[in-house]
Structure 1
Amino acid sequence: MLTQLDYLPDGLLQVEATELHTLIPGPTLIHLPGRRDVPLFVSILLHGNEDTGLKAIQDVLKKYQNASLPRALSLFIGNVEAARRGVRRLEGQLDYNRIWSAGNDDIAPEYRMTREVTEIMAQRGVFASIDIHNNSGLNPHYACINRLDDAFLHLSTMFSRIVVYFTSPKGVQSEAFAHLCPAVTLECGKPGGRSGVDHAAVFVEGALHLSDFPTHPVAKQDLDLFHSVAVVTVPKTVSLSIGAGESDLCLEERIDQYNFFELKTGTRLGYVANGNLIPLCTRNENGQDISAYYFEIKAGELITRRPVMPAMLTRDTRIIRQDCLCYLMERLSTLPTKI
């Protein structure tokens, strides 16, 4: 399932994500040399409709068409078939950012493919890992990490002072590579704009120029650190609409404007048809359903039961169904030495 190359296919620096299938057959790992041999790993298009990573890498590599890269680069291009159709993933297809669990014995070819990528990069002594994403709601650009380690924090704050520490969901690319090197996920806002592309390109080029990571902690004033404590999904049995409609749950029209704002107790998220049942599943890092801790229903309205800060709220019902409605976060005012 995995194709490995030691060169850039002709046209890769100009192609749109929807046309990648004309150049490569599927998931592809491309190794390019640089002045430093230990490679930087960059993964793009784990979700096929998130093309900022491709455009950012194209911008970076165009600068070095006639010069050596500062450091070797291993570029992983993920869900080419979903990119062809401009969707996160195809119906019935596994999510390419949920298949990286270390030691997973699943026989699906996607799991074997990600294990192969991880093993290849372990053998190459990967320097750092960057996974580039977009999201579908109104969110600032921010970085996500799976370890509260100085090197991880230094890498992430090169992209944004807003950093989210998370341990769920499992099976994400950054979690697998966190066992090998400092690893970060970049959230670059909605696809289609230049700001995310330019921001990611500057970050990747900066990472290529790094010789090592500082050993001192990141200064507190340079960091807004949050802990993702729960994921909120809408059960398949709950009908869903946005703004208006006859459904079990009708979310506020501009629900994504709540992202990265601390919502006060009693903030309305939407309306419900059944006043006795919270139409959400909110699971903490241990997998426990804690919906009633954060939400309640009053007079047919779904409201917050306590102050909470959401991220990645979206108005795209397809993505809500395929992934989640949002994540809930708490600010980390003190930083543990290691987690």
Structure 2
Amino acid sequence: MEGLSLPVITDPPDDHREVEAWLQTLGGPVWLMLEGEDDRCCRVVTTLLHGNEPSGTLALHRWLVERPRPRTRLVVLLANVRGALSHPAFTHRHTPDDRDLNRCFQPPFDGPAGELAWAIIQDLEAWAPECIIDLHNTSGNGPGFAVSTRRHPVIETLTGRLCEQLVVTDLRLGSLMELPLWRPRLADCPVFTLECGGALQPAARDVAEGLYRLLAECPDLTALPAASGLEVLVHPLRVELRPGASVAYDRSPCPDVDVTLWARIDEHNRGVTTPAATLGWLGPRGLSCLQARDGEGREHVGELLCVRQGRLHARRPLRLFMATTNSDIARSDCLFYAVPFA
């Protein structure tokens, strides 16, 4: 397709080629295009924006062995190939000399990650897609869920077939799913993030493969009947460390650490977290080392969390998402997201 910033390939991997060997042949970020029976319509999946979130790529590699023929054109972005292949493979969110690509989809587009994000934006507008789904893995183990910046019938129909929860967020981080908010040519395009589950969970690959099959086999997304049972949660709060605060993970409080989170806090990514559960332990600074701001910058940490005898608890029943046990992600990104549960 003329005018695209990134290369386009049309040949799926050989039946016996390992996924890492296949990625090595790509050489960098590429679009993989599958021509459909009706190429007047294009659907886009973006994956591997984070090099340590491989389920979308692993599922694609497995599915392409079947040589699928989609009902419409299906285009898949393999973005951070360099980060994914940094040794050991699929363990680096991004290379040490670069930024988080999924925080670069807003100006200024500085550095290699910013330049790549701008190239992706231009290409997405050139594809003029019917929908865009950005595939990710959760930072910790847990069930898959979807995230969007708005409610939309197509978003809710698709997510209801792939997961049980849709989180509608007003937080703005510079992620790809925010593009319809400020790119007029994408304003009417349904865009959402599908968090498939933990990177090491086999079920996460199944969720991603289910998305590819759904997009490939459905001739009309607007005609799909709504799935029952989708839970829609609105305005999650992002619980973060304040600048300079320290974090560790253990089964008891660590000395000289501001926040010690329970070693298996990712278990709280399922179900409802009650005030009885111990999430971790806080040092002398207490809650002052944490923050939880909404989309307008207002602080809510005291409404979500409390300290009892040095232990960190939910102040009220909460749904937790993306609770990680990776201290690097906790420091550079966030500890978890929380939504009050009525």
- TM-score, structure 1 normalization: 0.86
The aligned counterpart of 2:239 is: 232
Instruction: Find the aligned partners of 1:259 and 1:10 in 2 and give their Cα distance.
Output: 35
The aligned counterpart of 1:172 is: 175
Aligned partners of 2:6 and 2:123 also within 8 Å: no
The aligned counterpart of 2:48 is: 45
Q: Shift in Å at residue 328 of structure 1?
A: 0.9
The aligned counterpart of 1:139 is: 142
The aligned counterpart of 1:79 is: 80
Deviates more, 1:321-330 or 1:286-295: 286-295
Q: Shift in Å at residue 149 of structure 1?
A: 1.3
Aligned partners of 1:2 and 1:27 also within 8 Å: no
Instruction: Find the aligned partners of 2:247 and 2:285 in 1 and give their Cα distance.
Output: 15
The aligned counterpart of 1:265 is: 275
Q: 1:145 to 1:267 in 2, by over 3 A?
A: same
For structure 1, the 5+ residue unaligned runs are 333-339
Matches within 5 A, 1:82-93: 82-85=83-86, 86-93=91-98
Q: 1:36 to 1:330 in 2, by over 3 A?
A: farther
One-letter code aligned to 1:232: V
The aligned counterpart of 1:202 is: 210
Q: Shift in Å at residue 20 of structure 1?
A: 5.5
The aligned counterpart of 2:118 is: 115
Instruction: Find the aligned partners of 1:174 and 1:310 in 2 and give their Cα distance.
Output: 21
The aligned counterpart of 1:94 is: 99
Is 1:61 aligned to 2:64, yes or no? yes
Is 1:181 aligned to 2:182, yes or no? no
For structure 2, the 5+ residue unaligned runs are 181-185
Aligned partners of 1:275 and 1:298 also within 8 Å: no
Aligned partners of 1:270 and 1:301 also within 8 Å: yes
Question: SS where residue 118 of structure 1 aligns?
Answer: helix
One-letter code aligned to 2:169: F
The aligned counterpart of 2:24 is: 22
Q: 1:14 to 1:55 in 2, by over 3 A?
A: farther
Instruction: Find the aligned partners of 1:44 and 1:321 in 2 and give their Cα distance.
Output: 24
One-letter code aligned to 2:297: G
Aligned partners of 1:259 and 1:310 also within 8 Å: yes
List per-residue Cα deviations over 1:229-253 (Å, max 9, x = no partner).
Answer: 2101123412221114322211112
Instruction: Find the aligned partners of 1:75 and 1:193 in 2 and give their Cα distance.
Output: 22
Q: Shift in Å at residue 58 of structure 1?
A: 1.4
Instruction: Find the aligned partners of 1:274 and 1:12 in 2 and give their Cα distance.
Output: 57
List per-residue Cα deviations over 1:50-84 (Å, max 9, x = no partner).
Answer: 111111111222212xx633221222111122111
List per-residue Cα deviations over 1:120-163 (Å, max 9, x = no partner).
Answer: 23233212112111123231122222220112111211212322
Deviates more, 1:116-125 or 1:133-142: 116-125
Q: Shift in Å at residue 2 of structure 1?
A: 5.4
- TM-score, structure 2 normalization: 0.85
The aligned counterpart of 2:313 is: 303
Q: Shift in Å at residue 108 of structure 1?
A: 3.2
The aligned counterpart of 1:32 is: 34
Aligned partners of 1:231 and 1:324 also within 8 Å: yes
One-letter code aligned to 1:294: L
Computed over aligned residues only, the root mean square deviation of the Cα atoms, in angstroms, reads 2.7
Identity %: 24
Q: 1:110 to 1:13 in 2, by over 3 A?
A: farther
Deviates more, 1:106-115 or 1:34-43: 106-115
Instruction: Find the aligned partners of 2:16 and 2:288 in 1 and give their Cα distance.
Output: 48
The aligned counterpart of 1:157 is: 160
Instruction: Find the aligned partners of 1:12 and 1:97 in 2 and give their Cα distance.
Output: 31
